[in-house]
Amino acid sequence: MKLTNLTALNEARAAGKSVLLFSDVERGAETLTIDGEGSGDIEITTALKEAGEKAHNEDRGRLVEIDNKRIFIQVFNPARRIVIVGAVHIAQPLVPMARLAGYAVTIVDPRGAWATPERFPDIEIDRRWPDEALEALEPDSRTAIVTLTHDPKLDDPALTVALRSDAFYIGALGGKKTAGKRVARLTEAGFGPADFARIRGPVGLDIGAISPAEIAVSIVGQITETLHRPERAAA
Amino acid sequence: MTDTQMLDHDDVLERAAAWKEGGDAVALATVVSTWGSSPRQVGSRLAIKGDGAFIGSVSGGCIEGAVVEEALSAIEDGNTRVLEFGVTDEMAWEVGLACGGEISIFVERLD
């Protein structure tokens, strides 16, 4: 590998870009594509481009045999994100757990009394109203959104933006009664059954979690399941 | 605000670039395919320096020694290599890994 390519790769990763590295494992040639723009010694043919897109979408590298070459495709996607709405007690253990699982974590809470540095020493909190914050954060198919405030005037605006996004996971704290009222409010806002089916509530896997840390485990577990076993998560 | 701390615990590629920029000879070894219960996934890697020092991992520890040797040869001759390993039950047991599995590793010199 050329040092110039490695340097370009490292800079692109640091800038949060999506990178693919194609390496000819027999000849040593390589091509780097950064956000789809390619440069290098391997010509990106249609077949190679398709294989690259598949690897990118599945977030998994692979060795392919294309055009009589053995090409190793490596995927460097930016970290998946978890946006937590509500700087509540559950969020405190959830932040380090989510980070350990590889996520970039954002907390949104406009309420100053909750969002204090004492409670959240190593993360900056987005103090905007949840709909404004979420719109600015542009949730995509690599984003999970968890609402924990238990307060409709904060959770609802967050869910409204979440449901209009491609977020791969939407979880909302609250039992059946809360969920029922939420459905009524969101129906009035124009959402339907297909939207409600996307909201995981009560949030987290059913593992009998009681303490905030246990609930955080159940949430990280459910997000993991949605990511890797979507068919089971939907059942 | 989204935090920007390094999420990836493994900054092997950063270190490899720094070594090379500092004047060291460097090779990279990357897992390109796995079969069965290999301990590390595709994309796991080692960076190896000319003096044999390395960081990262491509297994739970049972094949790193052999990979480093091949990497030092790649540093010498500049040729790429694809190494195939079968992680036998016996070896796997010794280092406390899940049993069985096969792994292919791409070795290249950083130029």
ipTM metric: 0.83
- Residue A82: is its pLDDT beyond 90? yes
Domains of chain A (ranges; CATH) run 3-76 (no CATH), 81-234 (3.40.50.720)
- Residue A96: is its pLDDT beyond 80? yes
- Residue B91: is its pLDDT beyond 70? no
Tokens of A187: 């129906």
In a domain, B20, yes or no: no
Is the bond preceding A117 in cis, omega lying within 30 degrees of 0?
no
Which of A6, A10, A11 has the most B C-beta neighbours within 10 Å, making it the best mutation to test the interface with B? A6
* 8 Å CB contact of A79 and B3: no
In a domain, B11, yes or no: no
Local confidence band at A26 (pLDDT 50, 70, 90 cut-offs): very high
pLDDT in tens, A138-163: 999 899 999 999 999 999 999 999 99
Local confidence band at A58 (pLDDT 50, 70, 90 cut-offs): confident
A47 touches chain B (CB under 8 A): no
Q: Looking at A205-209, A222-226, B31-35, which range is the least confident one?
A: B31-35
In a domain, B9, yes or no: no
- Predicted confidence at residue A112, as pLDDT, reads 87
- Predicted confidence at residue B7, as pLDDT, reads 39
**B103, B85 in Cβ contact below 8 A?**
yes
**Element (H or E) spanning B26, and its range?**
strand B26-35
Cβ contacts below 8 Å, chain A against chain B, sum to 78
* 8 Å CB contact of A23 and B42: no
In a domain, B96, yes or no: yes
In a domain, B50, yes or no: yes
Q: What is the mean pLDDT of residues A211-221?
A: 98
Local confidence band at B1 (pLDDT 50, 70, 90 cut-offs): very low
Nearest chain B Cα distance for residue A181, angstroms? 30
Q: Strand pairing of A69-76 and A199-200?
A: unpaired
CB contacts of B20 in chain A (<8 Å) are 3, 6
Q: How many structural domains compose chain B?
A: 1
In a domain, B58, yes or no: yes
CB contacts of B80 in chain A (<8 Å) are 25-28
Which of B8, B33, B42 has the most A C-beta neighbours within 10 Å, making it the best mutation to test the interface with A? B42
In a domain, B18, yes or no: no
Q: Looking at B34-43, B48-57, B62-71, which range is the least confident one?
A: B34-43
Nearest chain B Cα distance for residue A17, angstroms? 13
- Predicted confidence at residue B5, as pLDDT, reads 39
Nearest chain A Cα distance for residue B4, angstroms? 7
pLDDT in tens, A179-195: 999 999 999 999 999 99
Tokens of A188: 């009035």
Phi then psi for residue B95, to 5 deg, are: -105, 10
Which one of B3, B42, B82 has the shortest CB-CB distance to A25? B82
Q: What is the mean pLDDT of residues A50-76?
A: 93
Nearest chain A Cα distance for residue B102, angstroms? 14
How many other CB atoms are there within 10 angstroms of residue A111's CB atom? Answer: 15
In a domain, B103, yes or no: yes
Chain B residues within 8 A (CB-CB) of chain A?
1-5, 7-8, 13-14, 16-17, 20-21, 28, 30, 32-33, 42-43, 79-80, 82, 104, 106, 108-111
Residues in chain B: 111
* 8 Å CB contact of B2 and A105: yes
Q: Which phi-psi region, left, alpha or beta, contains residue B49 (left: φ > 0; alpha: ψ -120 to 50)? A: beta
Q: What angle do CA A196, A198, A201 make, to 5 degrees?
A: 75
Local confidence band at B82 (pLDDT 50, 70, 90 cut-offs): very high
- Predicted confidence at residue A192, as pLDDT, reads 95
From the list A155, A84, A83, A92, the residue with the least C-alpha distance to A122 is: A92
A6 touches chain B (CB under 8 A): yes
- Predicted confidence at residue B9, as pLDDT, reads 42
- Residue in B closest to A71 by C-alpha: B32
- What range defines the domain where residue B102 resides? 25-110
- Predicted confidence at residue A145, as pLDDT, reads 98
